[in-house]
Chains A and B, each alone.
Chain A
Amino acid sequence: MRDEDPQSGPSNTTRRAFLLTTGSTAAATVIAACVPTHADSIVGQSGSVAGVADGPNIEGAVPITLRINGKDHQLRIDPRTTLLDCLRETVALTGTKKGCDHGQCGACTVHVKGRRVNSCLSLAVMHDGEEITTIEGLGTPDSLHPMQAAFVAHDGYQCGYCTSGQIMSAVALLKEPCGPEDAAVKELMSGNICRCGAYANIVAAIQQFRKNT
């Protein structure tokens, strides 16, 4: 579920690193609007602050701290930045996907203070000091969250683009009032659209998880 290190060396250039260094118009525009306070923030890693460099000074940028997957990130962001763009472009946690960007598809679902929300319809500045969990905070390739494992076991995806949102929604659903039947799961998962139509397998994965816990 985790993208490769976006700052991989030139001999192992990732798509993201390529976009970052070549100044692709789209990438550059968004990145310029969401400048991390420290260079290390862009790869979402804490630790040494050696070599810290402030980004370009964006007019009206606001300092905020987001606690993402258990780590504090001190950022300076344009108030227009959505939580989704902040996670993807500023913190470089690209597991959260941008689908419709208007709260209609659920691909951008993350947890804020333990509850699922559409990160595309929320401004990052509204979440100063709050606890955010993304798909990267749920499990790792070597140690999947049981819901991730259930999606794998039931083939709960095809292209995979909606999957991180589906799984974030599914994990949050476990803490919400939800009847035992498939129909209740379908109703509560209706905010996550899958254009490949993997719905039957997604419901099966969630139901297997619920049965086993």
Chain B
Amino acid sequence: MHTFEFIRPADPAAAIAAAAQAQTAQQGADVRFVAGGTTLVDLMKLNVETPARVIDINRLPLDKVEATSDGGLKIGAIVRNSDLAHHPTVQRDYAVLSEALLAGASGQLRNMATTSGNLLQRTRCMYFRDTAMSCNKREPGTGCPAITGSNRGLAVLGTSEHCIASNPSDMCVAMAALEATIHIQGPKGSRAIAFGEFHLLPGSTPNRETVLEPGDLVTHVTLPPPRSGSKQVYLKLRDRASYEFALASAAVVITIADGNVTYVRIALGGVGTKPWRSHEAEAALAGKPANAANFRKAAEAAMRDAKPQSENKFKIELAKRCLTHALQMAATS
């Protein structure tokens, strides 16, 4: 691990000031905020992350889960995954989020990992994590050996010729379906970003993963008021029953009236280069009878643009069945 200066700021403004001189907030950042450490410390040990300054945000007052004035929920940046998953309001009104959080990692890691940290969870692509390998995400322009190499766990949606790394987060899939908003404070003030616009597709710059700029601190995430009468499901398929990343997952929020779908939000995990909101699947289901045939059609629509790699063609059918099954679970719950 490279040496770094460790700073514990007194308040968010001091944290932002301490990070503002950074060259970038993306891969290669010379300044990093640390919360749980479950991604950052791991990658620092691998020398994939080499910040010269690490800013500890664990004692900032960003650890609350509170109701918002419009009936939604405000989740502080350093709320731990375990606390969020077991929060009574989340369990009651945003069950898909609770289920997604509990499907991720282990009991220990969920006690450490935070809301903002999970937004920034990095890919598990083995080429990204190994500095002996080329990787366009880690070292732009060096190439992507995953495309011709080990890619069984990697993405089939949102890929480019430069990068096929999959986003590993479960929490983000649920937040995409819940249409969360990410709140950022930076050197130029505060701003709110719709969840779907926070993560970037790899394109020709896979080293840029989010819209974050130097000094930007995610302070909290808000969820809109819960959809009354909605059914919510997070279904995760993986190589073992627990403590494993998704091969495919689906987050579903659906409202059915008189047998017809009156509202539906769908996001997929494990298959996309970012948490994958599927407007295509939603459009295929909106207003239609809630039955198995239409659920399958929605799944076909979700994966229509999927591009398989040499080892992960199975993911396309797996994701379709995952979404179809999740919709059936929600409809019959």
Is B11 an interface residue, CB under 8 A from the partner? Answer: no
By a CB distance below 8 angstroms, the chain B residues around A78 are: 3
Among B108-116, B183-191, B258-266, B275-283, the stretch that binds chain A is B108-116
Contacting residue for B106 out of A122, A126, A191, CB 8 A:
A191
Among B36-44, B159-167, B221-229, the stretch that binds chain A is B36-44
Cβ–Cβ contact B38 & A103, under 8 A: yes
Interface string of A183-200 (1 = CB under 8 A from B): 000111111100000000
Cβ–Cβ contact A191 & B243, under 8 A: yes
Cβ–Cβ contact A60 & B112, under 8 A: no
Is A38 an interface residue, CB under 8 A from the partner? Answer: no
Alpha-carbon distance between A106 and B112 when the two chains are bound, in angstroms: 13
By a CB distance below 8 angstroms, the chain B residues around A106 are: 106, 108
Alpha-carbon distance between A102 and B129 when the two chains are bound, in angstroms: 12
By a CB distance below 8 angstroms, the chain B residues around A123 are: 6, 34, 37, 41, 54
Is A152 an interface residue, CB under 8 A from the partner? Answer: no
By a CB distance below 8 angstroms, the chain A residues around B41 are: 82, 121-123
Cβ–Cβ contact A116 & B108, under 8 A: yes
Cβ–Cβ contact A188 & B3, under 8 A: no
Number of B interface residues at 8 Å Cβ cutoff, please give it: 27
Taking the closest CB of chain B, its distance from the CB of A189, in whole angstroms, is: 8
Cβ–Cβ contact A126 & B107, under 8 A: no
Is B68 an interface residue, CB under 8 A from the partner? Answer: no
Cβ–Cβ contact B108 & A80, under 8 A: no
Alpha-carbon distance between A123 and B54 when the two chains are bound, in angstroms: 11
Cβ–Cβ contact A126 & B45, under 8 A: no
By a CB distance below 8 angstroms, the chain A residues around B257 are: none
Alpha-carbon distance between A16 and B58 when the two chains are bound, in angstroms: 34
Alpha-carbon distance between A188 and B41 when the two chains are bound, in angstroms: 23
Cβ–Cβ contact B108 & A118, under 8 A: yes
Is A101 an interface residue, CB under 8 A from the partner? Answer: yes
Contacting residue for A126 out of B4, B5, B34, CB 8 A:
B34
Taking the closest CB of chain B, its distance from the CB of A125, in whole angstroms, is: 5
Is B242 an interface residue, CB under 8 A from the partner? Answer: yes
Cβ–Cβ contact B4 & A118, under 8 A: no
Is A115 an interface residue, CB under 8 A from the partner? Answer: yes
By a CB distance below 8 angstroms, the chain B residues around A82 are: 41
Taking the closest CB of chain A, its distance from the CB of B50, in whole angstroms, is: 12
Is A181 an interface residue, CB under 8 A from the partner? Answer: no
Alpha-carbon distance between A125 and B5 when the two chains are bound, in angstroms: 11
Taking the closest CB of chain B, its distance from the CB of A84, in whole angstroms, is: 11
Is B64 an interface residue, CB under 8 A from the partner? Answer: no
Is A173 an interface residue, CB under 8 A from the partner? Answer: yes
Cβ–Cβ contact B242 & A121, under 8 A: no
Alpha-carbon distance between A78 and B37 when the two chains are bound, in angstroms: 17
Given A109-B108, A118-B108, A190:B243 Cβ within 8 A:
yes
Cβ–Cβ contact B56 & A103, under 8 A: no
Taking the closest CB of chain A, its distance from the CB of B212, in whole angstroms, is: 22
Alpha-carbon distance between A187 and B4 when the two chains are bound, in angstroms: 37
Interface string of A95-109 (1 = CB under 8 A from B): 000000111001001
Cβ–Cβ contact B106 & A121, under 8 A: no
Given A79-B54, A173-B107, A187-B242, A102:B34 Cβ within 8 A:
no
Most-contacted residue by chain A among B42, B106, B112 (CB, 10 A): B106
Contact residues of A between 53 and 69, Cβ < 8 Å to B: 60, 62
By a CB distance below 8 angstroms, the chain B residues around A62 are: 6
Cβ–Cβ contact B107 & A125, under 8 A: no
By a CB distance below 8 angstroms, the chain A residues around B106 are: 106, 190-192
Q: Which residues of A contact B (CB under 8 A)?
A: 60, 62, 78-80, 82, 101-103, 106, 109, 115-118, 121-123, 125-126, 169, 172-173, 176-177, 186-192
Of the A-B pairs whose beta carbons lie under 8 Å apart in the complex, a sample of 22, sorted by A's number, is A79-B5, A102-B42, A106-B106, A106-B108, A109-B108, A115-B82, A115-B111, A116-B108, A117-B108, A118-B112, A121-B41, A121-B42, A123-B34, A123-B37, A123-B41, A126-B58, A169-B107, A169-B108, A187-B241, A187-B242, A191-B106, A191-B108
Q: List 3 A-B pairs, minimum CB-CB distance, nearest first.
A: A191-B106, A190-B242, A79-B6
